Amino acid sequence: MATLAETLAEDSQKLQQALGLDLREARLEIQILLCHVLGVPRSWLISHDRDHLADTAAQAYAASLARRLSGEPIAYIVGRREFFGLEFFTTPAVLIPRPETELLVELALERIPQNQPGNVLDLGTGSGVIAISIAKNRPFATVSAVDQSQAALAVARENAARLQVPNLRLLQSNWFSSLEDEVFELIVSNPPYVEAADPHLLQGDVRFEPLSALASGADGLDDIRRIAAAALQHLKPGGWLLFEHGYNQGERCREILRQQGLSAVETIRDLAGLERVSLGVKESV
Ligand code: GLN
């Protein structure tokens, strides 16, 4: 029977070959699977590398390894992913939180005062990572988070309960459809923005994610156009709209925002230097 150290070495190689990962990444993933099955932190794994897996743990581990070898994303297998320093529950009903999206949260927080009440809206909240990260960091703000998918809202509700977020309101809405004439100081969104025919939808983790959270028409901008078109009437004067988009969509997004009458329109680059978030403000008159 193999020790944990041997399992780690052998299965990292298998995973590396099956998915074309680099070896460091594959090792990290095997460690994540082992920790998940054993219910231990990574530090434990390192200090117990001569141990053997007990039968039930070995079976559970073999099952999760098989899922990962067939390409299923690790965030769905272990059911969680870290985002903005918090741990979120994730299922195939929602997009897997991505590190680039933390930029959107940072830019939103810069525009929400610390100790003042205010209304924030997150459109297409999915697992709730954006709304919950904002609500946690701005306890005086009320964050409304909408999604058209009931299955996604159930995941967001679970995350709000686990992370204890009293200032969050979740509701089903197709973009602004359930919001009547409500207005907000800030509207944020990570909408679907991938071109419908983008070959990268057929590769890697993305294959397992909800297409409705990823693709948005021929140029990927259908939903961004919809959101921008309705934003002005749901923003208070001085209110901000901020959304994530693809690396090559910055110029078109700025154009959409200007056409809709927003001011101070600008695009911010992510840590990789790619245009990632565009924003604009409703001028106060
Ligand atoms: N950044 C994601 C990807 O390209 C897309 C996320 C989205 O459409 N909001 O995989």
pLDDT tens digit sequence for 183-236:
999 999 999 999 999 999 999 999 999 999 999 999 999 999 999 999 999 999
CA–centroid distance, residue 235 to ligand 1 (Å): 25
Residues 6 or more apart in contact with residue 108 via CB below 8 angstroms: 120, 130, 134, 186, 188, 240, 242
Q: Supply φ then ψ for residue 123, to 5 degrees.
A: -95, 125
Q: What is the mean pLDDT of residues 92-105?
A: 98
CA–centroid distance, residue 185 to ligand 1 (Å): 25
Residue 96 near residue 76 (C-beta atoms within 8 A): yes
Q: Where residue 1 falls among pLDDT bands split at 50, 70, 90?
A: confident
CA separation, residue 104 to residues 36, 99, 160, 162, 265 (Å): 29, 10, 19, 23, 15
Q: What is the mean pLDDT of residues 80-102?
A: 97
Mean per-residue pLDDT of the chain? 97
| CATH number corresponding to 92-281 | 3.40.50.150
Q: What pLDDT is recorded for position 285?
A: 74
CA separation, residue 112 to residues 109, 179, 227 (Å): 5, 21, 20
| 126 Cβ closer than 6 Å to some ligand 1 atom | no
CA–centroid distance, residue 214 to ligand 1 (Å): 6
Give percent of the chain with pLDDT exceeding 70.
Answer: 100
Atom of ligand 1 nearest to the CA of 215: 8
Name the 3-class secondary structure at 236: strand
- The span from the CA of 245 to the CA of 190, in Å, is 7
- The span from the CA of 117 to the CA of 104, in Å, is 21
Mutate which of 206, 214, 276 for ligand 1 pocket (most atoms within 8 A of beta carbon): 214
- The span from the CA of 28 to the CA of 34, in Å, is 10
Q: Which CATH number fits domain 4-71: 2.60.40, 1.10.8, 3.40.50, 1.10.3470?
A: 1.10.8
- The span from the CA of 5 to the CA of 58, in Å, is 14
- CB-based burial of residue 161 (10 Å sphere; 0-12 exposed, 13-18 middle, 19+ buried)? exposed
Give percent of the chain with pLDDT exceeding 90.
Answer: 98
Please report, for the chain, the start and end positions of each structural domain, with discontinuous segments joined by +: 4-71, 92-281
CA–centroid distance, residue 43 to ligand 1 (Å): 32
| 192 Cβ closer than 6 Å to some ligand 1 atom | yes
Tell me if 4-71 shares its fold with 92-281: no
pLDDT at 72 over 90: yes
